[in-house]
Amino acid sequence: MNILYFASVDFYQKPNPSFHLMYSMITDLLESNNKINYVGLALEGIEQHIPIEFINNPNFSYDLIDMPNTKKSSFVKRYIDGIKYAVAAKKHIKKMINDSDVIFIQSSPTALYNISVVKRFVKDSKKIIYNVQDMFPGSSIASGVMPQKWMQIVFSSLQKIAYRKSDIIVAISDDMKDKLIEQGVPNEKIEVIVNWFDDRTVSEVSWDKNRFVKIANMDKEHFYVQYAGTMGYVFDYHMIIKVAEILQDDSKIIFQMIGEGSQKQEFVKTVKEKQLNNIVFLPLQPQDMVSDVYSACSTCIIPLKHGVIGNSVPSKAGLLMACKRSIVTSTDKGSKYNSMIKDNGIGFAFGDNEPEKMAEAILKLSKNTELCKHMGIKGYEFGHKLYSRAENMKKYVDLFERMLSEGGRL
């Protein structure tokens, strides 16, 4: 099977949560003797754009398009860059399309233009699979970065065209599937395949062997409530501040914030103003430190702004399950994500306006290490059934093969 992979991010763009998903998907497809025709970006200022093992694989061919590395805060410029990228990709898509059986379009705010370019050259028998990681503009609206009503209407209309032009849309959660259906996408057009953790490389690291424990100068006397990841617009740092204020008299509990993002500067400023000594900040760690970082915490906190769930999904949940760590999260009440956490005994899940309950849960875990450990084990068992690389790549391969069969080529 020949797969045209139309990427929307540079492999080595930092920070890039898509890296391990891209890498493991392409690796597994190549190991199964499939051919990948890859069209991607070569962002300015990044030296390496493709893993060397892919370059050396005879079943991997690629074309890269030079693009500026525009800041995430420059929405208009980034959107225009996305359109330019789609236009520049035309000649590469035209060259590769005849040698491709199935087309995989990676998620981006400008995916419509990528899909339109493919549609221009593709025959009806070849199916387009559109993978949605963050629903645009839904995620931007929910996080507050797109308050203008006219922009919401225009971009929502454009996104619906992208949905119509796709043959299959891959949603990464049941909440996201519900959002797609709300926007008029037929149920039968949606496949749910979650973002996985790499069960080949991510696993629990013991305290004595944990590199991050040494880097962060951690000790066994404290209870570490950790957030590790992008501190962007979907991240509700106000919730962490409220919870930390409630628990500030308990010297055992430390809130450990690891990473970068658009909201970090304001987050740090607010913590200093409130003199919250129980919140500490640490820089983003290298990709090969994922297991060490998540294994170092006592529990993990995942606070999401109202309306985000469904439009976006925190990818770190699966990683935490792989490392046998419990989860304390806040998001929309009644979401399937919250139900998943609670019903499977993985941790505690609350509404986005319940800091007191969140604080109470963290305090309970800090005083009951057996409960904390038990929830981590339950998460590990559940995670390997739903969030593992092996299980979800089977779903993707099955989807590709079904699309190929429907196209008359199998």
Question: Is 308 within the bounds of a domain?
Answer: yes
The answer to pTM > 0.85 is yes
CB 340 within 8 A of CB 346: yes
Are 382 and 261 part of one and the same domain?
yes
Are 359 and 280 part of one and the same domain?
yes
* Predicted local confidence at residue 409, as pLDDT: 42
Chain segment 164-210, per-residue pLDDT in tens: 999 999 999 999 999 999 999 999 999 999 998 888 888 999 999 99
Question: Is 350 within the bounds of a domain?
Answer: yes
Question: Is 20 within the bounds of a domain?
Answer: yes
Question: Is 56 within the bounds of a domain?
Answer: yes
Are 165 and 216 part of one and the same domain?
no
Question: Is 201 within the bounds of a domain?
Answer: no
Question: Is 228 within the bounds of a domain?
Answer: yes
* Predicted local confidence at residue 407, as pLDDT: 65
Instruction: Give the pLDDT band (50/70/90) at residue 16.
Output: low
Cβ burial 269-284 (10 Å sphere, 16+ → b, else e) = ebbeeeebebbeeeeb
Residue 125: pLDDT above 80?
no
Structural domain tally of the chain? 2
Are 83 and 172 part of one and the same domain?
yes
Are 396 and 372 part of one and the same domain?
no
Are 184 and 263 part of one and the same domain?
no
* Predicted local confidence at residue 408, as pLDDT: 44
Are 241 and 183 part of one and the same domain?
no
Are 171 and 253 part of one and the same domain?
no
Question: Is 173 within the bounds of a domain?
Answer: yes
> Domain range holding 188?
2-196+388-406
Are 120 and 218 part of one and the same domain?
no
Are 380 and 260 part of one and the same domain?
yes
CA-based nearest residue to 101, from 181, 203, 29: 29
CB 331 within 8 A of CB 337: yes
Q: Which residues are paired to 197 by β-bridges?
A: 388
State the CATH number of the domain containing residue 374: 3.40.50.2000
Q: How many CA atoms lie within 13 A of 312 on its CB side?
A: 27
Chain segment 278-328, per-residue pLDDT in tens: 999 999 998 889 999 999 999 999 999 998 998 988 878 889 999 999 999
Are 155 and 86 part of one and the same domain?
yes
Are 343 and 329 part of one and the same domain?
yes
